[in-house]
Structures are given as C-alpha cells and as structure tokens.
C-alpha cells in the first residue's frame, strides 16, 4: 500500500525546515519537498544579523545548519516540484513530474521568488551582467561598477554587501526615499562608494555580449539618461510561489496564502508558513516561527482526525 505521510511540507526554506523539526519531533511521519536547494532566500543573502542567537551569520551557512537540523528527528527529504494537488477524502495527493505522494496534512512553505523588471535587455543579459543574487555573483564584479535597482531591505542590504567587493555601487530608486529599515539606510548613506539616483526607473539594459549600461528615466522630469555599468542587480520585491494552489481558493488578490492565527487555511489539513503567507513581516525569524506554529497545528489535526 502506498505510504501516507502524516505531514508533507512543500518548500525547504526557514519556515519549511522549522516545521520539519517540530513535526518530526512530535512523532509525525514527515516528508519535506524542495524544488531547488534547501535554504530558500537565505541562499542569496550575504549576512544575516537579526536571527536570534546569531549576531552575524552568512545566509548559506545558516541554511546549511538549518537543513542538517531539519533532518535530525527523522524528516525525509526529497527534491521535487509539485505540479498538482488533489484530494481523496481527507488525504491530500501531491504530484511531481515523477512521483505521487500522499499525506494527511500539508504545510505550504513555498516562499517567494524575485520579481522581474520586464524591460528590454533583462532576460537577454541574465547571467551576463544582470543578476538577482549579489552573494552568488558579486565576486565577478570585483573592482567594477554596478547598479542596484530598488529601495527595499533587499536592495540596500545587498548594495552594502556589494560595496565591500566592487568599486562603486549606484542604487537607482523610483522614489526620493528608501523603503528599507533605517539602520540599513544609515549604513548605506555612510558608505563612500554607494551613490544614489532618485526618482528614476530603468527602461532598458544594453550591451554587446554582456551588460555595458542601463538607460533610466527620471519619473518627475521625464528626462532619459544612460549610465555605464558592468552589472545590474535587481531587487524590486518578490512574488509568492503559489500558482498551483490557485484552484484551492486560498489565495488573496496578490497570490499570498490566507490563514488564521493557527496558520490553518480554509481547507482542512492544509496549513501555511513563511513568506508565502499573507502577513506583514517577512523575516527568517518570522518564517521559523510560522514553521513551528503550522507544524503544531498539523500535529493537532493529524491526531484529531485519526
């Protein structure tokens, strides 16, 4: 007979990995599925300095520690991207291109993915000067000039990371004030090799075989100008990875999963954790907290429906 897991966790970021610890420690049979690499956005984060207990830790290091920890109490791990979810009474059936899994409960912890600018040159020069990951690609730009697009936490944090490697970072932001936390703003303003271009949006990225510049427009004066640069790092926000859950009717207008304080969705036995959830604060620590709460809710659900 096909195995029916007590809990399947979709996504191995900090939310999913914490849910794995709490679920398996509560003696549930747990499978965690991940389509890429365990770690989620931590893998593309230079330094994390606001996760309790770690004054400073690199994102990939924390991801590795969490992954090892997540398997300690018996959680099984497998690679796979869920392509369909269906139901047989109370049992949830999750399909990947090669496998079919069954579970009594499911935690959606699929996180978010980088939003694209959608301008000419962006896809053409992807990995040829256009990047969404300073940690992965920053080293290629040693002593060169790069631009960072965006004004949120990610843009400013990664601009700070890049400023320690490259010659000059120019942050291009569509307004005249940053969205990022004040502490990050202050650090960026203090850096002598970080410059700002305000009230401007990118309109195209150009070059021959790799990026040589970016064309921008001032949104107030409408003036168009060209900036020479070796690299364009894009940090304009994230989109929830929820396309396959749309048919379940559990998403808000932006695609985030709606839940109550127990992280239950309106479908019995389906829970949500981490950045993919409709909520205000998206941090590693809040993702981990969601993981614990959702796993506890899944545990109660599995026990109750025995």
Question: Which of 76, 93, 104, 74 is closest to 6 using CA atoms?
Answer: 104
3-state secondary structure of 16: helix
Stretch that binds ligand NAP, among 9-17, 58-66, 135-143, 147-155 (CB under 6 A): 147-155
**Residue 104 near residue 7 (C-beta atoms within 8 A):** yes
Burial tier of 168 (Cβ tally within 10 Å: 0-12, 13-18, 19+): middle
Residues 50-69: x where in contact with ligand NAP by CB under 6 A, - otherwise, as a string? x-------------------
Least gap, CB of 238 to ligand NAP (angstroms): 5
Shortest approach of ligand NAP to residue 259 CB, angstroms?
Answer: 17
224-283: which residues touch ligand NAP (CB under 6 A)?
A: 235-238, 282-283
> Strands, E, within 166-210: which ranges?
168-172, 194-197, 200-207
Residues 32-51 touching ligand NAP, rule: CB under 6 A, are 50
| Annotation says 230 is catalytic | no
**Whether 197 contacts 216, CB under 8 Å:** yes
Q: How many residues would you count in the chain?
A: 306
Binders of ligand NAP among residues 100 to 119 (CB under 6 A) are 117
Q: Is 152 in the site for ligand NAP (CB under 6 A)?
A: yes
Q: Which of 16, 38, 59, 151 binds ligand NAP (CB under 6 A)?
A: 151
Catalytic hit among 6, 61, 89, 133: 133
53 φ/ψ sector (left φ>0, alpha ψ -120 to 50, else beta) = left
> Which of 61, 109, 62 has its CA nearest to residue 82?
109
Q: Which of 6, 137, 275, 290 is catalytic?
A: 137
Direct distance between the N- and C-terminal alpha carbons of the chain, in angstroms, rounded to an integer: 18
The residue within the footprint of ligand NAP, chosen from 64, 81, 113, 153 (CB under 6 A), is 153
Structure token digits, residue 250: 């559990």
Q: Point out the residues that are catalytic.
A: 133, 136-137
What does the binding site for ligand NAP look like in residue numbers (CB under 6 A)?
50, 117, 149-155, 157, 174-175, 179, 201, 235-238, 282-283
């Amino acid at each position: 007979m096909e195995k029916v897991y007590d809990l399947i966790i979709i996504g191995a970021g900090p939310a999913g990995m914490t849910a794995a610890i709490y679920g398996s420690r509560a003696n549930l049979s747990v499978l965690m599925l991940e389509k890429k690499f365990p770690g989620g956005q931590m893998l593309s984060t230079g330094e994390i300095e606001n996760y309790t207990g770690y004054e400073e830790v690199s994102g990939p290091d924390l991801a590795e520690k969490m992954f090892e920890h997540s398997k300690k109490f018996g959680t099984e791990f497998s690679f796979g991207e869920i392509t369909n979810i269906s139901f047989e009474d109370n049992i949830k059936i999750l399909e990947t291109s090669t496998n079919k899994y069954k579970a009594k409960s499911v935690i959606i912890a699929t996180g978010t993915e980088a939003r694209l600018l959608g301008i000419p040159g962006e896809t053409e020069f992807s990995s040829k000067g256009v990047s969404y990951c300073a940690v992965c690609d920053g080293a290629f730009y040693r002593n060169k000039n790069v631009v960072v697009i965006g004004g949120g936490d990610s843009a400013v944090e990664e601009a700070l990371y890049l400023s320690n490697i490259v010659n000059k970072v120019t942050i291009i932001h569509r307004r005249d004030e940053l969205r990022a936390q004040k502490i990050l703003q202050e650090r960026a303003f203090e850096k002598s090799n970080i410059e700002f271009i305000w009230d401007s949006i990118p309109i195209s990225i150009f070059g021959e075989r790799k990026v040589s510049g970016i064309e921008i427009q001032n949104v107030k004066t409408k003036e168009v100008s060209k900036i020479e640069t070796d690299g364009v790092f894009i940090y304009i926000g994230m989109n929830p990875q929820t396309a396959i859950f749309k048919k379940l009717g559990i998403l808000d207008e932006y695609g985030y999963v709606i839940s109550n304080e127990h992280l239950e969705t309106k479908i019995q036995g389906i829970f949500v954790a981490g950045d993919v959830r409709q909520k205000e604060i998206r941090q590693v620590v809040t993702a981990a907290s969601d993981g614990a709460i959702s796993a506890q809710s899944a545990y109660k659900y599995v026990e109750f429906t025995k």
